Amino acid sequence: MSTDAPTLHGEAYVAQFLSENPDFFLRHRDLLMQLSVPHEAGAVSLVERQVKALRDRIRDLQSQMIEMLRHARENEQVLSQCLSLSLGMIESSSIDQLIHVVRTELLREFRCDALSVMFCQVDVSGIIHARQVTHDQLLNELGCGFPDGEPVCGYLDQRARKFLFGDLNPDLHSVALLPLGLNAARGVIAIASREKERFSPQMGTVFLQLIAQLFDAIQRKHAREGHVRASAG
């Protein structure tokens, strides 16, 4: 006769194991969330309600964490693009080259479909891809005074689209307006997309504001240097 303890199988083994390891679910909380403990009478027990509520809460937290990680990755990518754009602007040697850098980077790296640069205080003679307008004309056509000095994002109406981009881009639907100076006193950079929600009114504008401020500072530097060279000549 064998003196070994009888071998348990199936549920009996599980029951014995749990009785010998009462802290098992403390060490494996994820398994506890997967248990189903219905009430014997058919009604949902209080414990089951609590477990279900906790399980739902964990799912919500997991979803929030995934969304936060997605935004973090997107912000990291945008930051890298902004750094590349900033270095290109700093290394530019003229307003014309500055605009070229901005057009190239924004259209290629920032998923934009059109870009327009309008100056109110810069002579654009000989400058490619820039227009000169009065400040009053700019504010009247855009219907925006930039009261906070921050970029404005939103949906393009026909009048603003024609003013900014002419008749060649009828399929542009959203735009980000980057003011140059207080209340866009020195002009505006407009970047547009065919996607209606690309530049929605709810989107953050921190990176856009940094781009606008750096562009404005560098274009003023180039304008001063150009004036000095012209005077010396």
Distance CA 147, CA 204 (A): 17
Residue whose C-alpha is closest to residue 150's, from 184, 111, 193: 184
Distance CA 157, CA 112 (A): 17
Global pTM value: 0.69
Distance CA 171, CA 73 (A): 30
Which of the 8 DSSP states describes residue 182? G
Domain 59-216 fold is Beta-Lactamase (3.30.450)
Query: Which range is least confidently modeled, 26-35, 155-164, 181-190, 224-233?
Result: 224-233
**Encoded tokens for 74:** 């997107």
**Encoded tokens for 71:** 């935004």
Q: What pLDDT sits at residue 203?
A: 87
The ranges assigned to domains in the chain are 59-216
Instruction: Read off the amino acid at residue 153.
Output: C
**What 3-state class would DSSP assign to 9?**
coil
Considering the chain, what percentage of its residues have pLDDT values greater than 70? 84
